[in-house]
Amino acid sequence: MTIKLTEIQKERLIKVINNVKDINNCVHDSVPLEYDKIIELDGLEYFLANVFKLELPKCEHGYTDRYRDYKFKTKEK
């Protein structure tokens, strides 16, 4: 799979991966997590789902099931 990112997506990816790194460092160093670092991750789920073409499965009623794991989107026939 080849993924092409826009400049804005590249900037966002660098920003969030650095936040994840900082959070990991805090956890490993037993330092309290900073609210600002956590809040910066808001929307990361949707950003990554969009970039990597992921989707949540639907329930039997056709609604997104947020309690199931993401899967790669299947090509519609």
Domain ranges of the chain: 7-72
Type of residue found at 50: N
| Pair 55, 46: CB distance under 8 Å | no
Tokens of 72: 């790669």
The arithmetic mean of pLDDT across residues 15-39, rounded, is: 90
The arithmetic mean of pLDDT across residues 38-47, rounded, is: 88
| Pair 37, 25: CB distance under 8 Å | no
pLDDT, position 10: 93
Closest CA relative to residue 56, chosen from 75, 76, 73: 73
Examine the pLDDT at 1 and tell me if it is beyond 80. no
pLDDT, position 76: 62
